[in-house]
Amino acid sequence: MVESRAVAILPSSAVIPLLSVGGLTLAGSVWAALRGWRTARLLASTPPTAISALTPGLHEVRGAIRGEGSLRSPLSDRPCVYWRFLVEQRRQNAWEVLVDAKDAVDVVLDDGGGRMVLQPRLADVVLSRPEHTNSGILGVPSAELTAVLARLGEAPTGLQGPFVRYREELLADGDRLHVVGTVVQGGDDTWELGAGDVHVLSDREEAEVVRHEERMALRWVGVAVVGLALVAFAVSEWWGATA
């Protein structure tokens, strides 16, 4: 009778770090996927509320941003209250994020009947309309892109192509948004969007934001599968080393 035995491939010193990486990846991605699905469900089930009728709790509010454009967007140099600049490079049939920089100031959302304080830096900002985005794809990094990265103090390693894409997002005074999050009573009898686990600002229609959150949740499921595979491999290596 032939007895089979598991054979370890990795040295024993590498098993624990691999198990830790896999476990953290699995736990973090499962949490992110569940959060995405919960956000999508809450977005779909929460009706709009006028600011004058708000009570503490989860609400969807629509209105226009009111705030001084004290910031300048890094690429288009436009006055704004929020900007995000994203640079990705094509590597091994996938887009890898090299730079994800953002800045924001506190603003007020005005629906004509009341006002609410927003902190865009704490929110999941989902923008798609042309007036709020500026994007492109390059064969190699351009002089303009290199200059923008230098102004931001960003020096990503390996930024050389063959394909590089960038995206600038911004919000300015007067832009209309719909906001979903946990509303709390602030100072001076004003309403604020609290630091809850659902905090979305978007210029998209509600159905589009729901689909966006669902897509992001599915991506995190894919990351969770990778984490699970790492954990399974680490356990099999430990078993092979101790068998």
Tell me the per-residue pLDDT of 18-42, one tens digit each, with 9 for 90 and over. 788 888 888 888 887 887 777 777 7
pLDDT of residue 102: 92
For 116, the token pair is 């609410």
Range scoring the smallest mean pLDDT among 46-50, 90-94, 113-117: 90-94
Specify the higher pLDDT residue, 124 or 199: 124
CA–CA distance from 168 to each of 72, 75, 88, 185, 219 (Å)? 12, 7, 12, 33, 22
All structural domains of the chain with their residue ranges: 48-204
Q: Rounded to an integer, what distance in angstroms lies between the CA atom of residue 25 and that of residue 6?
A: 26
Range scoring the smallest mean pLDDT among 15-19, 33-37, 197-201: 197-201
pLDDT of residue 238: 72
pLDDT in tens, 118-144: 888 888 888 877 777 877 777 666 778
* Mean pLDDT in residue range 81-108: 87
CA count, 13 A, side-chain hemisphere, 104: 22
Q: Rounded to an integer, what distance in angstroms lies between the CA atom of residue 165 and that of residue 86?
A: 8
